[in-house]
Amino acid sequence: MALDFPEKLAELRKKRGLSQRQAASELYISQGLLCHYENGRREPGLDFLRRACLYYDVSADYLLGLSEDNAAQQQIAKLDEQLREARASAEASRRETERLRTLSARAIEIFEEMQQ
């Protein structure tokens, strides 16, 4: 079953491990107003909706229940994975470069010894 705005707003806050007071402070509203939004007693304006989307890294469609596909979070997860892969590849390349430098230096030493 799809969650509506109040439930999604509360779910996103809880997933971050935040209290209403903490989230409200970071969203520049009172804890009481956030409580009203999460309980469905009040509806937020566009300014709050924009701030909440940016804060939780979700699309307005997702937060409003128009889409279950949270493309923003999925894209961030995909980019995080690509970054981890790139870092691992860079580290492997660095180790291989260091290994080749060591081999080259040793080969030069052996060649110079043979020349004496």
Per-domain residue ranges of the chain: 5-68, 70-116
Q: Any idea which fold 5-68 has?
A: 434 Repressor (Amino-terminal Domain) (1.10.260)
pLDDT in tens, 82-108: 988 999 999 999 999 999 999 999 989
User: Around Cβ 69, how many Cβ atoms within 10 Å?
Assistant: 11
Question: Which stretches of the chain are DSSP H helices?
Answer: 5-15, 20-26, 31-39, 46-56, 60-63, 71-115
pLDDT exceeds 70 at position 1? no
Q: Are 27 and 20 in contact (CB under 8 A)?
A: no
Using only C-alpha atoms, the chain has a radius of gyration, in whole angstroms, of 26
pLDDT in tens, 59-74: 888 898 887 766 666 6
12 token code pair: 């996103």
- How far apart CA 97 and CA 79 sit, in angstroms, is 26
- Can you give the pLDDT at residue 93? 92
